[in-house]
Amino acid sequence: MPTRTNKAWLSDLATPGPAREAALEDLREVIHKGLPYALSRWLSPDQPQFNSLVEEVTQETLLRVLDQLNTFEGRSQFTTWVHKIAVRIALTELRRKRWRDSSLDELTENEDVPPPPGLLADPQAGPETSAERADMLARVSRIIEEELTDRQRQALLLLGVQDMPMEDAARKLKTNRNALYKLLHDARLRLRRRLSMEDISPYEVLTLFEQK
């Protein structure tokens, strides 16, 4: 993997094309190498859940990095900044999914963002929560239908709902991994903008549906 300066990382990732594709693949390798050590106190690489978690976190981290390139201030190595994003996402996923082999207390102590309220909610959803979910689902479904292209909706369905591996989704859509990242990146930006216009936060959607 070639050595890049912070400036080179930003330049390569900022513009679609071969340079961005190469940089994304190199970042994927960086994240894959760093996560086993970073998460070793919470989840062993020998556990069957680990590989799927790493793939999910890697995908989300690459999308997040593309979203937040303009927030990188250059106070550290670019790859160090990326690692911090990856670990934060991984810890949030561990809490969100309530993985039994993880300590909620440790995760809470090592994560700046408080756990979503739904994580500790009553396991039996009342009629009010059920009604809120139905209303939110209808609103989000309408926004997805109105805001996204058919191809963007297909990508979200395969990866977000059916939890299909990235390689399989790319083959099904007859594209490659990096083009699929770009498709998801654009879809996320459009959804975020539209949700903001309708005063809906992604956090609000997540926490509501984490209430069992």
**What does the alpha-carbon distance between residue 179 and residue 16 come to, in Å, rounded to a whole number?**
9
pLDDT digits (tens, 9 = 90+) for 58-73: 988 999 999 889 899 8
At the topology level, CATH places domain 118-210 in Arc Repressor Mutant, subunit A (1.10.10)
pLDDT computed for residue 169 by the predictor = 87
Max alpha carbon distance in the chain (Å)? 56
- Whole-model pTM: value is 0.52
Where the chain has pLDDT below 50, the residues are 99-124, 210-212
**What does the alpha-carbon distance between residue 98 and residue 81 come to, in Å, rounded to a whole number?**
26
pLDDT computed for residue 205 by the predictor = 64
Best CATH choice for the domain 6-115 from the list 1.10.287, 1.10.1740, 2.30.30, 1.20.1270: 1.10.1740
pLDDT digits (tens, 9 = 90+) for 169-202: 888 899 988 888 888 888 888 888 888 887 777 6
CA angle 74, 77, 82 (to 5 degrees): 95
Domain boundaries, the chain: 6-115, 118-210
Q: Which residue has the tokens 């997540």?
A: 206
Is 138:200 a contact under the CB 8 Å cutoff? no
CA angle 170, 173, 177 (to 5 degrees): 25
| Nearest one of 195, 155, 171 to 63, comparing CA atoms | 155
One fold for both 6-115 and 118-210?
no
